[in-house]
Every structure is written in structure tokens, then in C-alpha cells.
Amino acid sequence: MSTTERLMRIRGYAPLTPCWVELASADPARASFFYGELFGWDSAGDRFKLDGRAVAGLTRSRLDRPDGWLTHLSTTNLEDSLEQVAMAGGHCLSHPAEAHGGRRAVIADPSGAIIGLWQGYDFAGAQAGGEPGTMSWPELITDDPHGAARFYGSAFGWLLRHEFGNGEWLNQAHDAIAGLASGHRGAWWRVAFQVEDIEYAASQCERLGGAVISEPAEAGLTAFAELADPYGARFTVAAPVHHPVELTVSLGTLPAWE
């Protein structure tokens, strides 16, 4: 990837696709230090930035916004999206409110997994992607994948496709937008960030006072590990796996030219 491509800003998101992640922390200053050291982020008020581009949000936790990472989906009409959520069996946890650059609401699916909805005015969401230090695709952990498929299909028009033995959420344009994994501890949305080196990220997390919840492993063309910051907020780091490819060319026996 060239330097020009690497520094390219993302300026918009398709409706009902992940566009932003935000951390709520009881101690934003200490959280800023941890993630700054881990991902190379700079703290800029209520946002983390990478090379001057907003890549994640930061807020102080409160009763209606407990500690942890929250994924947001882009929407062009917050009220219409909330109506679809209600009709599909979900419920609104925080009603539409003005935020820095747009309006937001927080909803829960029937299993209790929480996700945000974001209607941007002059801020569409993360301004960079596809490079270390930026959000990767989120993953829904649930003990009721069939129920989840019904809800998100009805609320957002998402389709579930199985590929390489794993569930994979797709939007209506058949672009993968989030993962799905079975779990046995309820339901929640897990955020993910791209890194250069999984092993290094895991060891750096522990050095900074965090924890490794699941050791680095490979799944297909991706290596991943689940980590937790020093205050208990979980997240995943992921990196592409580069396997060497060997090409063997056999010319066989060529006919003699007369």
C-alpha cells in the first residue's frame, strides 16, 4: 500500500454498517495512556486519533453507559432505524441525543447484546481503516445465533452466510460487515482492531497492565487474540496472515517442430 493510500481518509459509510467504536471508562486519562501505547493513538478530547484522523471515541462511564467498548452502525434516519428495531423485537436503551458531530441512540437486541446507532451530521465515523491501529470488523457473540439471525435480518436487512465453517454476517450488497460466533455467556458485541503483529500486541497489552483472554491463534487468513485493558474492557486484535505461496510450472514435453 502506498503512503498516499495509507493516509486516505474515510468520508462515509453505507447505511447500517459499522462506522464507529467508543470506549466508556471510569478513568479516561489512564485509558488514553493504555491505548495510546498499544495502538499509537493520540488523545484528542472525546476521540482517539491516528496520524490526525479520528479512529475511536472516548467517554466517561456512567449509569446509562457502563464501562466497555460500544460499536455503532451508521444510519441516515435514526427514528426509522429505531422503529425497525422495535418491530423486530429489540428495545431502545438510550433515546436519540445530540453528540459531537451527529445524533446517537443505543439499542439492545432480544438477547441483550448492545449496539449504537449513529446518524452523522458533519462526522460520519472512523476516518481511517484497513491499517494497524484502526477498527476491524466487529463480532457478535451469542448463545442464540438463530434468534440473532432473525432479529438482525428483520431490523437491518442483514443476511447470514456460512463460509469456511463459520457464521458470517453480510449486508444486502453481499459485503461481509461483521462476524458471528457462538458463546455461552449471554450476548454482546465485541470490537476488534487491526495490528501489525498479534504476538507483539498481546505481550504489549500485558506489559501495560492488561490481560490476554484468548491466546493468539489463526483462523483462515487472519490471526487474532482477545485482550482486556487494565480496567476490564474486552476487545480483539486481528492481523492478516501471510502464507508463502509456491507455484510449480510444468511445461511437459513439447512436440518437435519439423
pLDDT value for 243: 59
pLDDT tier at 11 (50, 70, 90 boundaries)? Answer: confident
Residue 189's domain comprises 3-240
Let me know if residue 156 belongs to a domain: yes
Closest CA to 37 of 229, 169, 239: 229
How many angstroms separate the CA atoms of 74 and 54, rounded?
Answer: 16
Which CATH number belongs to the domain containing residue 40 in this structure?
Answer: 3.10.180.10
Let me know if residue 258 belongs to a domain: no
Average pLDDT in the 140-164 region?
86
Is residue 250 over pLDDT 60?
Answer: no
Let me know if residue 202 belongs to a domain: yes
Let me know if residue 132 belongs to a domain: yes
**Cell triple for residue 11?**
468520508
Let me know if residue 71 belongs to a domain: yes
pLDDT value for 254: 47
Choose the weakest-confidence range: 36-45, 149-158, 211-220: 211-220
Let me know if residue 128 belongs to a domain: yes
Q: How many domains is the chain built from?
A: 1
Let me know if residue 252 belongs to a domain: no
What pTM did the predictor assign? 0.88
pLDDT in tens, 73-103: 999 999 999 999 999 999 999 999 999 999 9
Let me know if residue 207 belongs to a domain: yes
pLDDT tier at 258 (50, 70, 90 boundaries)? Answer: very low
pLDDT in tens, 165-176: 455 665 556 677
Range 47-51, long-range pairs (CB < 8 A, 24+ positions): 47/100, 50/128, 50/133, 50/134, 51/7, 51/128
